[in-house]
Amino acid sequence: MIRACLVALLSHWRRNPLQLFAFLAGLALATALWAGVQAINAEARASYDAAAATLGEGQFDQIVPKAGGSITQQDFVALRKAGWLVSPVIDGRHDGVRLLGFDPLSSPASFGVGQVAQTGNLAAFLDPGQLYSNAETAERLQTDIQIVIDPAIAPGIAVGDIGVVQHVLGRNDLTRLLLHPVQPMIRPALVDLVPGLRLQPANQTSDVGELTDSFHLNLTAFGLLSFAVGLFIVYSAIGLAFEQRRGLVRTLRALGVPLGFLVILMLIEILLLALLGAGLGIVLGYLIAAVLLPDVAITLRGLYGAEVAGTLEFRASWWASGLAIAVLGTLAAAGGRLWQIWQMPLLASARPRAWAMTSGRVQRVQSIAAIGLLMCAAAFLWGGSGLLAGFAVLGLFLIGAALALPVVVRPVLRYAEHAAKTPQYRWFWADTQQQLPGLSLALMALLLALSANIGVATMVSSFRLTFVDFLDQRLAPELYVEATDTAHAASIEETMAKLDVPVLPLLTIDIEVRTQPAQLFGVRVGPTYRDNWAFLDAETDAWDQVEAGAAVIANEQLARRAGLWVGDEISIAPGVSLPIGAVVADYGNPKGQVVIGETLFRQLHPDVTLQRFGLRTSEPQQLRDVLTNDLGVANSAIRDQSAIKAFSLQVFDRTFTVTAALNVLTLAVAGFAMLMSLLTLADLRVPQLAPVWALGLTRRKIGQLELLRAVVFAALACLFALPVGLGLAWVLLAVINVEAFGWRLPMFLFPADYVRLGIYAILAAVAAAAWPAWRLARTPPNALLKVFAHER
């Protein structure tokens, strides 16, 4: 019996391959985007973990210089000889690869890279020396040192013995000292031994995972959005299949199949299909992730300095979650239908209710739900805080708006019906209203995709406009130079003074402001700063006060995180509190910054040496020659403004390539949803069209009207998507950005972009409607006649 029933149930899909395709493709698309995004996140997180293990960051307390600079080997030996169990680490960059040198003998046993030496050949590791890195990084490294491939090493990092790395970097100092978790009984105080060094507890090391969380949350939100859109397709495919099988179910039950048994069989059937669709989706998702990952990797490296592997691994964490969410989503979509089957009286009419029977009650429920969701969104916006609240606002607002769509569209259509001059168009508008319930899911999907497009495009373009301005302001000096030591710096400064080249010293030190890590900058206040820096808010004479050491400038990130604004006092050193004279926008920078005058900085931190400058010149190339030829500055120690700007812009553009790609995919999914709805509706509509045909409307005309209807729906969705999208953009710019990155962006409008998007949407709708319309136009007359001959 099982077999017979199953064959009977499955025969439906054989007779309706398009429905099967819609179901599987919808689920596959939904799962694909979700799984793809999860795969990217999983890969990135794995890379962060590998990096944390490789660098030992967060795992061990560290001893670091108080005032920038580095640690001498004498300091290291002095600490060891006093009983401090520390292990030296040198950290530098070579060929764009982070080189990490450590001492395998003194490093703590659980130090990630320490295990490299324990599994390898220590003698060869020390002399003549080896570097360990993964295969990808090894290709970037140009060195005569032997490179051992080890996939466990975090991407972008090569590790070696401290002596070997010092040799490659041409240095003889140390970057930091790892403190063993277990120390001997008696040790003198750190400050007496090495006054220039300080202890940095493990948990205060900046955690790259935390920094990048917001980026991954963004991706996840997009994944969920796409999943929701894909699930619309699944929902409508399942709805249709169950609707059409009411007759079959009645027949089977009349033949004696128990209801419970039938429902379980249908459940199994759905589960099998769900697994199949989700499986396809995971394969697709893997492909999507593999294509997007390199861009994500570049973004993360540029934005946060986080290295992520460019190759994707098939991790259980993401494919299992993809499979689970797909199956659960399908079950949720099928649940209502199975309930209906359960409730259906045995002798009820098998007549399909089609899609037209939506009662006013459903509409009322939908309206109430929409209003409720929008009110919740407003409540979160008003009362919530934090990134999650931001995303809650976003989600509630979008779903509420989607639910409101049919409610808003119906009166428009009703008005058009009244306004129509000819009976033909009165029928058209009436029929369009009739279609609304059937198409509303597809329309909601289109609305979501369009609003997301408008919102994200507005954010990206606003961001880019602001960002380019900002780069021009902040990267005003034409050249940036790094001196090898203080004496070198002094000679550069002297020569520049002779050449009459304005020098902008960049003095910096890490400090803590209200328990938040921040960078303190000392600047020489001059026209470059006065003319170029645009403040978000400032006292009128902010720069004068900063120059006089009477005020500071805080960047927006710091001000928002610490809850401070212009006029508030900020403590920048023990016993030194100054009012904030201005708050400056500092886009793309994850760190807090406080800017003070050079004189005050030198008083507070006399031990910080000046090694970096900005130089103003109208002849950058000429000045570069002077620096390299006469002053012995290495070419690699000079960066010109255009290079920095180009790099920053590249990082920026990469960031949004990813979101743009996801956007396009969402729109494609929405278009597909529309196609599927129209195709499935087409069959059901034959009885509704037959009378119109019988009244003399040609099949060709009917097809044309079908196309027109798609355009009307798409246009209405576009119109409604515009305010929703702009609302979304506002939430992104003013809520999500502030929570995620710490800065708020001004919002600009881009009408041309919206018009173009509207045209795309209408084209997508026409494309989606073309085939169903063509099929309707080709409906054989006898199929139309049959409608009158019998009740199907």
Partner 1 sequence: MNVRALIFCVLWPFAAFAQGFAGLGSGADGFATPQPDPSFSFPADHGPHPNYRIEWWYLTANLQAADGTPYGLQWTLFRSALAPGDKEGWASPQIWFAHAAVTTPDMHFATERFARGGTGQAGVQAEPFRAWIDEWAMEGPDLNTLSLKAQGTEFGYEMTLAAEGPLVFHGQNGFSVKSAEGQASYYYSQPFYRIEGTLNLPEGPVEVTGSAWLDREWSSQPLSETQSGWDWFSLSFEGGEKLMGFQLRQQDGSGYTASTWIEADGGTTAYPDGAFRAEPVSLSAVAGRKVPTTWRVQLADKGVDVSVTAMNSNAWMPLTIPYWEGPVHITGSHSGVGYLEMTGYE
Closest-CA residue to 113 (of 69, 143, 148, 145): 148
CA nearest neighbour of 357 among 333, 345, 340 = 340
Q: Decide: 454 and 725 in contact? Cβ < 8 Å.
A: yes
- Residue 501 makes CB contacts below 8 A (sequence gap 6+) with 615, 616, 617, 623
- How near is the Cβ of 89 to partner 1 at its closest, in Å? 13
By C-alpha distance, which of 403, 396, 348, 357 is closest to 376? 396
Chain residues 185-214 in contact with partner 1, contact rule CB under 8 A? 185-186
Stretch that binds partner 1, among 75-83, 342-350, 607-615, 751-759 (CB under 8 A): 75-83
User: In this chain, which of 10, 64, 124, 686 binds partner 1, going by CB under 8 A?
Assistant: 124
Best CA proximity match to 146, nearest among 162, 168, 166? 168
Q: Beta 97-102 vs 86-94: how paired, if at all?
A: antiparallel
Question: Alpha-carbon distance 705 to 727, whole Å?
Answer: 33
Least separation in angstroms between CB 204 and partner 1: 24
Smallest gap from Cβ 121 to partner 1, in A, equals: 4
* 180 versus 245: smaller Cβ distance to partner 1: 180
CA distance 429 to 259: 41
Query: Rounded to whole angstroms, what are the CA distances from 145 to 127, 159, 429?
Result: 10, 12, 77
Question: End-to-end distance of the chain based on CA atoms, in angstroms?
Answer: 28
294 exposure class (CB count in 10 Å sphere: 0-12, 13-18, 19+):
middle
121 binds partner 1 (CB under 8 A): yes
- Binding partner 1 (rule: CB under 8 A), the pick from 1, 83, 255, 348 is 83
Residue 468 as a binder of partner 1 (CB under 8 A): the answer is no
Indicate whether 110 belongs to the interface with partner 1 (CB under 8 A): no
DSSP H or E run through 513: strand 503-513
Q: What one-letter code names the amino acid at 343? A: Q
103 in contact with partner 1 (CB under 8 A): yes
Return the number of the residue (76 or 754) whose C-beta is nearest partner 1. 76
Distance of CA 154 to the CA centre of its chain: 22
- Of 135, 181, 129, 175, nearest to 155 by C-alpha is 135
Q: CB of residue 79 vs partner 1: minimum separation in angstroms? A: 9
Residue 293 near partner 1 by CB under 8 A: no
85 binds partner 1 (CB under 8 A): yes
- Least Å from the CB of residue 161 to partner 1: 7
Amino acid at 726: L
DSSP, collapsed to helix, strand or coil, labels residue 188 as coil
Contact 263, 342 (CB under 8 A): yes
Q: How far is the CB of 71 from partner 1 (least distance, A)?
A: 13
Closest to partner 1 by CB, 131 vs 733, is: 131
132 binds partner 1 (CB under 8 A): no
SS3 of the chain: helix, strand, coil, percent, to 5? 65, 15, 25
Task: Find residue 503's DSSP bridge partners.
Answer: 615
**Pairwise CA distance, residues 635 & 368, whole Å:** 67
Among 6, 18, 122, 740, binds partner 1 (CB under 8 A): 122
Q: Does 183 bind partner 1 (CB under 8 A)?
A: yes
Q: How far is the CB of 78 from partner 1 (least distance, A)?
A: 9
Looking at the Cβ atoms of 179 and 670, the one nearer to partner 1 is 179
> Is residue 161 involved in binding partner 1 (CB under 8 A)?
yes
Instruction: Report if residue 80 touches partner 1, rule: CB under 8 A.
Output: yes
Q: Which is nearer to partner 1, 66 or 80 (CB)?
A: 80
Minimum Å gap between C-beta 129 and partner 1 is 9
Residue 190 beta carbon to partner 1: minimum distance, rounded to whole angstroms: 14
Return the residue of 2, 7, 110, 118 that touches partner 1, per CB under 8 A: 118
Q: Is 145 in the site for partner 1 (CB under 8 A)?
A: no
By CB under 8 A, residue 70 contacts partner 1: no
163, 310, 579, 588: residue in contact with partner 1 (rule CB under 8 A) = 163
Q: Is 308 helix (H, G, I), strand (E, B) or coil?
A: coil
Tokens of 252: 């089977």
* Rounded least distance, CB 740 to partner 1, Å: 43
| Nearest approach, Cβ of residue 107 and partner 1 (Å) | 9
User: Where on the chain is the footprint of partner 1 (CB under 8 A)?
Assistant: 73-74, 76-77, 80-83, 85, 103, 105-106, 117-118, 120-124, 126-127, 161-164, 166, 172, 182-186
